[in-house]
Amino acid sequence: MRAVQSTAIAHFESSAVASRARTAVSLLPCTMDDRGTPYHHFQSVAVRAHPAGRRDDMVLSLTTPLILGSASPRRRDILASLGIPFRVLHASIDERAALSEDPRAYVERIVLEKLAAVSGAVEEPSRFSGLLVADTIVVLDSEILGKPTDVAHAEALLARIVGRAHNVLTRYAVSVSPHLGKQATARTVESRVTMRAAGPEEIRDYAATGEGLDKAGAYAAQGIGAFLISRVDGSFTNVVGLPACEVVEDLRGLGLLTRFPLPKA
């Protein structure tokens, strides 16, 4: 049976929440191509759709917020730091990869399944402007590295990625009300993370903090785990869990955001 949880989130909740979001997430500027379109290195665009416009009552606002179909605190922080009003509604699905499943094919499949599961749990679609779902994976030598099951597993994962470079892929999809189950646009953004070499003691001590236990690859780029990262090529917020630059671009392209940044209430 699908487990569904709902939490109301407003980007004006409190100054403390906003402060934590600003501390947790560093928003990096994106590069513009010759047509003025933002992009990052290692990014690939899978699906994009840009309707001509939206009804005023369906534009993103405090009265018609975005649904964030994710339980990730990092994604909440990123949207909150952008000042985007949203509500959290997530549904649990089986996220196990199929045998020899290609990483890109995997995130595309998982995001579609999340979109279907979360949209199916929305009771009043007209109360929301749209739905955003996402999935982030760490890929090393074409292998998907999942979340560690315990501290020992975290140590083993970290031992594999230190002193090397790996790729982080985030796939997200956006649907618009009232057709929340229909993907309007989707994108896979890829960043390359280079980690410095680290000894067994450093790996053991970091794994013991527990910071990486709920994260793919067993580390948090926005937390203590930053001490292991020597370089990030591409979007940093993508590594954290949601590429801010691309998400805003697509929300504007779909007409969910008519202006950005949003004016303060």
d(CA 140, CA 154): 15
- Can you give the pLDDT at residue 56? 57
Closest by Cα among 127, 158, 163, 132 to 145: 158
d(CA 198, CA 248): 36
- Can you give the pLDDT at residue 77? 96
The DSSP string of 137-190 is EEEETTEEE---SSHHHHHHHHHHHTTSEEEEEEEEEEEETT-TTS--EEEEEE
DSSP 96: P
Phi then psi for residue 90, to 5 deg, are -130, 150
Q: Which domains does the chain have, with CATH numbers?
A: 4-253 (3.90.950.10)
Closest by Cα among 122, 85, 56 to 255: 56
d(CA 38, CA 46): 15
Nearby residues of 207 by Cβ (< 8 Å), 6 or more positions away: 148, 151, 152, 154, 155, 158, 218
- Can you give the pLDDT at residue 90? 87
pLDDT tens digit string along 191-213? 999 999 999 999 999 999 999 99
- Can you give the pLDDT at residue 9? 39
- Can you give the pLDDT at residue 93? 92
pLDDT tens digit string along 206-255? 999 999 999 999 999 999 999 999 999 999 999 999 999 999 999 999 99
- Can you give the pLDDT at residue 263? 85
- Can you give the pLDDT at residue 99? 85
d(CA 150, CA 153): 5
* Token pair for 93: 């699905």
DSSP 98: P
d(CA 175, CA 94): 21
- Can you give the pLDDT at residue 165? 98
CA of residue 3 relative to chain centroid, distance: 20
pLDDT at 114 over 90: yes
d(CA 13, CA 246): 25
* Token pair for 157: 């994962």
Give the residue numbers marked as catalytic: 135
pTM: 0.79
End-to-end CA distance of the chain: 40
Closest by Cα among 75, 82, 141, 86 to 111: 75
**For residue 174, what are the β-bridge partners?**
132, 185
